Chains A and B, each alone.
Chain A
Amino acid sequence: MKRVAVIVFPGSNCDADTLVAARDAGSDAYFVWHRDTDLRQADVVILPGGFSYGDYLRSGAIARFSKVMAAVTAHARAGGPVLGICNGFQILCEAGLLPGGLMRNAGLRFVSRPVRVRVEQTDTPFTCSYERGEVLQLPVAHGDGRYVVDARTAAELEASDRVVWRYVRDNPNGSTRDIAGVTNAGRNVVGIMPHPERANAPALGGQDGARVFHSMEARHATQHAVDVRAVDDRQLRV
């Protein structure tokens, strides 16, 4: 059972759904308030969706400087798995833990509907329970979801297999190369614009998102985190 910290910012609104989805997958999930500095020995950190700090200035721009983000950054730099969903993805980009940025949807309207995404990479802590090429139906709900990167970074992302999900047929926001989710060079930090936690059970209209959370419980997925914990334990003993 993995310890999963779901970070709560002022304005987060998918935190409870995300906690339930992680618990349904068998994780020991708990909330961590944005003012806390201790992730309480988390194996995995999730930044949930919402409108942290009212999306003022830019989505994620202010949340990125929350006290808890120093601990999240340290966890990520040490190889610990981090997932950012929607606003969480925006925060990870603002924090520089993922490349690129998320801008106003090309169609200007807030989009809230199911979309189809293809799983492009399965060697991340959040996609290892999927088959490569699988097409999922997941809901999106965002106004600032247009992922942009410069051409050079986009080419680099493709060449290093770091586009994790891609919209198929219908791109809801005009993102570069139909990108719906990416990972960092270490493949431990992942961001996704659609909401897997909202497609977690048949009663919600589908369960294509559930395996994002089941993936966290898969053994190899959290190997890095185990290493991180070992380092922490050593420090504790000293």
Chain B
Amino acid sequence: MNAYRVEVRVMPRAALLDPQGQAVEHALQALGFAEVCRVRVGKHLVVELEAASRDEALARARAMCDRLLANPVTEDYDVAVEGGASR
């Protein structure tokens, strides 16, 4: 088994109102960052796990997202795997 570090990014669905993102966007503009067009706020989760391969780590992480980490009604997610050094 190898140790993997999976980074999961969960974002509110693009079509849905993201009031947190809007509040941050307005705050940035108020600070003089006039170039800011849009901000969205999501979640970043780091999951450390053991798996036989990188593909397995990815598949397991996706299963975790489908089951718990993201709500398919309101959120989208993507998953990136790091590591793979043998223990």
Q: Which residues of A contact B (CB under 8 A)?
A: 57-58, 61-62, 65, 93-94, 99-101, 103-108, 146, 148-150, 174
Contacts and interface: CB of A to CB of B under 8 A. Distances in A.
Nearest to A173: B19
Contact of B19 (A65, A104, A150): A104
13 contacts: A57-B69, A58-B71, A62-B68, A101-B71, A103-B12, A103-B16, A104-B19, A108-B20, A108-B23, A148-B16, A148-B73, A148-B74, A174-B17
A108 B20 CA distance: 7
A94 B19 contact: no
B67 to A, nearest CB: 9
Contact of A94 (B12, B69, B71): B71
Contacts of B17: 103, 106, 146, 174
Contacts of B68: 57, 61-62, 65
Interface residues of B, number: 11
Interface string B17-34: 101100100000000000
Contacts of B19: 104-108, 174
Contact of B73 (A65, A107, A149, A174): A149
Contacts of A94: 71
A57 B17 CA distance: 19
3 closest residue pairs by CB, A with B: A101-B73, A101-B74, A108-B19
A216 B36 CA distance: 53
A61 B17 CA distance: 20
Most A CB within 10 A of own CB, among B12, B69, B71, B73? B73
Contacts of A99: 73
A107 B17 CA distance: 11
A154 to B, nearest CB: 12
Nearest to B69: A57
A148 to B, nearest CB: 6
A99 B71 CA distance: 12
Nearest to B67: A65
Nearest to A58: B71
Given A101-B71, A107-B19, 4 more contacts: A101-B74, A103-B12, A105-B19, A148-B74
